[in-house]
Amino acid sequence: MLSGISLGQYIPGDSLLHRLDPRTKVIGVLAAAVSILAFANWQGFLLAALLTLTALLVSKLPPGIILGSLKSLWLLLVITFLLQAFLTPGTLLAVLGPLKISREGMFAAVEIVLRLALLILIAFLPTLTTPPIKLTAGLESIISPLRRLGVPAHELAMMMTLALRFIPTLLQEAEVVISAQRSRGAGFTTGSPARWARSLLPLFVPLFAGALRRANDLAVAMESRCYRGGANRTRMNALKFSAADYVVIGVTMAVLAGVIALRFV
Amino acid sequence: MDEVFIAVKDLTYIYNRDNAGGYRALSGIDLEVKAGEFLVIAGPNGSGKSTLARLFNAMLKPSGGRVIVAGMDTMIPENVWEIRRRVGMVFQNPDNQIVSSLVEEDAAFGAENLGLPAEEVQKRVAETLRLTGLSQYASHAPHLLSGGQKQKLAIAGVLVMRPSCLVLDEPTSMLDPAGRDELMETLIRLNRTMKVTVVLVTHFMEEAVLADRVVVLSDGRIAISGPPAMVFAEVELLAGIGLKLPAALEIAHGLRKRGFPLPQEILTIYDLLAYFKNKALED
Ligand SMILES: Nc1ncnc2c1ncn2[C@@H]1O[C@H](COP(=O)(O)OP(=O)(O)OP(=O)(O)O)[C@@H](O)[C@H]1O
Ligand SMILES: [Mg+2]
């Protein structure tokens, strides 16, 4: 039951998007996100939407997965729509009791929901099409120039790697603890919020103690395998840009430039 | 075979030496691990086995005496990383020594830490996964492997550094019997075919039977050391320390006490069965 967390989880595949360098995907999605936030007219919107749709089609992900991210965030979309529609003053369009909808409100609501939906659709593409371990390597490489400013790029990436490694293990452990406590008559899902919180204590205490022991063991094991930080370390799968990567970065940057240019025409 | 790989001389180790409540975990240990040897270190809980294992790869530094690995003193800081490369460590809990969420990436970790070029790392990873029988799981998530497979991955993770010696601290204690057999078979194969020195820390006496030599620790000292047949002959001494004999030896010992003249070479159930079969044929 705890392993059912799957929003944005990697879906193996062999599309162009799957094969791109992880850095390309991160940079491309950032450029697309800025375009989506920056468009100021329908031409700009069309350009950003076209980029998003193309990316989704190229990913060859099943439509159910793509719409899944929208579905799990539908409440956010609805609330944003309603707030925008009801709270924008302007020419009156309709009155529902104490609530008034203006023409401007309607337009603003549609616009912001379109922006949000596009953002959600594109934001999950890197995690959906890249194994986490590669994404981590990509992020490390992207932030590594910041090392000179004191950003611990390697350490952050190692933390992410270890978190990815141990989340499934901790979930498995949590399930064991839950069923052990259940078998002794503990309930985790009933009662008032205070009682519920208290009932979680017997779950978190052993989990936390276990995690500390793991961390200690792991540090010893890593040092035994000659780990001494990021200096001098190499990578088995070095990241490499291919022609496709340059094309994709070029296209996304062109779209971004186009959207921004369109703001001024 | 007679070349000394690890030389331990008059070794003492004291935990929390700076505090008043320092605890002497090892005292006066003299020991030589020969290159290519399969050595078992046995002993009851708290006898100092893990402490000794960690002194072998410079995770701990002696409080007194010396540990020399392939001619390098573990006290000298410049030697530490080469010693850790040469002495690969595998620990008890299979989950707590895997660093990556991908089997092949985990196997690569040690080689990457050595700063080897990517092609060399790939070559070594393929080779060690093959040696440990994990090639087909290269792109799996480690948490989906069985306990025995996880321990084999831990072995692959150190083999990738091309060590001369494997030190394993109770690697089978969290495994089911099938996983235990699988792991022991892998260790014996690596020892016989690759000439890897194996130091196996265990409190399962069944595993000690397979060794070239057994060292028994008790209260931080070496109680007895020698070939398995010799060590297991000291039934009273072992019982006094609190170590249980393997089942076959327990039976053999009981029979001897009742007047059956069984030979000392009987170490396993199979030896025992073979002996009785021969006996039956002779009669
Ligand atoms: N970090 C530590 N600080 C203080 N004392 C310790 C520490 N680690 C171990 N000891 C003590 O040193 C002694 C030897 O411990 P060690 O872990 O080497 O035993 P062991 O033979 O490996 O036992 P086990 O079979 O339980 O693994 C024990 O009495 C233990 O309590
Ligand atoms: Mg121990």
The pLDDT assigned to A66 comes to 87
Q: Give chain A's radius of gyration (CA, Å).
A: 24
Ligand minimally distant from the alpha carbon of residue B60? 1
- A232 Rama sector, left if φ>0, alpha if ψ -120 to 50, beta otherwise: left
CA A186 to chain centre: 35
For residue A164, the chain B residues in CB contact (below 8 A) are 101
CA B131 to chain centre: 18
* Pairwise CA distance, residues A262 & A243, whole Å: 28
pTM of the complete model: 0.83
The pLDDT assigned to A188 comes to 63
Choice from B14, B15, B55 to test ligand 1 binding pocket (greatest atom count within 8 A of CB): B15
Q: Which percentage of chain B shows pLDDT scores above 90?
A: 71
How does the average pLDDT of chain B come out, rounded?
92
Contact between B86 and B58 under an 8 Å Cβ cutoff? The reply is no
Contact between A178 and A199 under an 8 Å Cβ cutoff? The reply is no
Question: Which of A165, A217, A234 lies closest to B93 in CB terms?
Answer: A217
pLDDT band at A204 (very low <50, low <70, confident <90, very high): confident
Q: Which residues contact A26 (CB under 8 A, 6 or more apart)?
A: A126, A135, A138, A139, A142
Q: Is it the case that residue A3 has pLDDT exceeding 50?
A: no
The pLDDT assigned to B33 comes to 97
The pLDDT assigned to A190 comes to 64
For residue A133, the chain B residues in CB contact (below 8 A) are 100-102, 105
Q: Which residues contact A80 (CB under 8 A, 6 or more apart)?
A: A109, A112, A113, A116
The pLDDT assigned to A187 comes to 65
The pLDDT assigned to B84 comes to 97
pLDDT digits (tens, 9 = 90+) for A112-121: 999 999 999 9
Torsion (CA) B184, B186, B192, B193 in degrees, nearest 10: 180
Taking residues B29-54, what's their average pLDDT? 96
The pLDDT assigned to A186 comes to 67
Question: Which of B108, B115, B158 lies closest to A236 in CB terms?
Answer: B108
Which residues on adjacent β-strands are paired with residue B153? none
The CB of B43 under 6 Å from ligand 1? The reply is yes
The SS3 call for residue A231 is coil
Least confident residue range of A188-192, A236-240, A244-248, B125-129: A188-192
At B132, phi and psi to the nearest 5?
A: -100, 5
Higher-confidence position of B143 and B212: B212
The pLDDT assigned to A31 comes to 95
Closest chain A residue to the Cα of B157, Cα to Cα: A225
The pLDDT assigned to A6 comes to 60
The pLDDT assigned to A180 comes to 83
CB atoms A234 and B121 under 8 Å: yes
Q: Is B10 within 8 Å of chain A by CB?
A: no
Torsion (CA) A142, A145, A150, A156 in degrees, nearest 10: 20
Q: Is it the case that residue A1 has pLDDT exceeding 80?
A: no
The CB of B51 under 6 Å from ligand 1? The reply is yes
Query: What is this model's ipTM?
Result: 0.89
Q: Is A161 within 8 Å of chain B by CB?
A: yes
At B31, phi and psi to the nearest 5?
A: -160, 140
Query: How far does B107 lie from chain A, in Å, by closest CA?
Result: 10
Could you tell me where the DSSP H helices lie in A144-192?
Answer: 153-183
Q: Is it the case that residue A5 has pLDDT exceeding 50?
A: no
The pLDDT assigned to A189 comes to 62
Taking residues B107-115, what's their average pLDDT? 96
A-interface mutation test, from B60, B106, B113, most A Cβ less than 10 A away: B113
Residue B221 CA to ligand 1 centre (angstroms): 13
Higher-confidence position of A204 and A245: A245
Residue B44 CA to ligand 1 centre (angstroms): 11
Query: How far does A158 lie from chain B, in Å, by closest CA?
Result: 9
Instruction: Enter the tokens of residue B233.
Output: 């002959």
The CB of B204 under 6 Å from ligand 1? The reply is no
* Helices and strands per DSSP (H, E), number in chain B: 11, 10
DSSP state of B283: -
B265: how many CB neighbours lie within 10 A of its CB?
A: 9
Contact between B138 and B193 under an 8 Å Cβ cutoff? The reply is no
Residue B23 CA to ligand 1 centre (angstroms): 9
B-interface mutation test, from A10, A165, A226, most B Cβ less than 10 A away: A226
The CB of B186 under 6 Å from ligand 1? The reply is no
Q: Is it the case that residue A264 has pLDDT exceeding 80?
A: yes
pLDDT band at B270 (very low <50, low <70, confident <90, very high): confident
Question: Which of B100, B104, B125 lies closest to A161 in CB terms?
Answer: B100
Closest chain A residue to the Cα of B57, Cα to Cα: A224
CA A35 to chain centre: 18
Question: Which residue bears the tokens 């995907």?
Answer: A25
pLDDT digits (tens, 9 = 90+) for A154-198: 999 899 889 888 888 888 888 888 888 788 776 666 667 787 777
**What residue type is A240 in one-letter code?**
K
CB atoms B93 and A222 under 8 Å: no
Higher-confidence position of B190 and A188: B190
pLDDT band at B206 (very low <50, low <70, confident <90, very high): confident
Positive/negative CA dihedral, A21, A24, A29, A30:
positive
The CB of B180 under 6 Å from ligand 1? The reply is no
Question: Which of B105, B110, B122 lies closest to A226 in CB terms?
Answer: B110
For residue A214, the chain B residues in CB contact (below 8 A) are 93, 95-96
Residues in chain A: 265
Q: Is A260 within 8 Å of chain B by CB?
A: no
Q: Is B115 within 8 Å of chain A by CB?
A: yes
The CB of B22 under 6 Å from ligand 1? The reply is no
CA B55 to chain centre: 14
Instruction: Enter the tokens of residue B194.
Output: 């690759």
pLDDT digits (tens, 9 = 90+) for B213-262: 999 999 999 999 999 989 988 888 998 998 888 888 888 888 888 888 88
Question: Which of B102, B114, B154 lies closest to A226 in CB terms?
Answer: B114
* Pairwise CA distance, residues B34 & B31, whole Å: 10
Query: How far does B90 lie from chain A, in Å, by closest CA?
Result: 8
Contact between B51 and B167 under an 8 Å Cβ cutoff? The reply is no
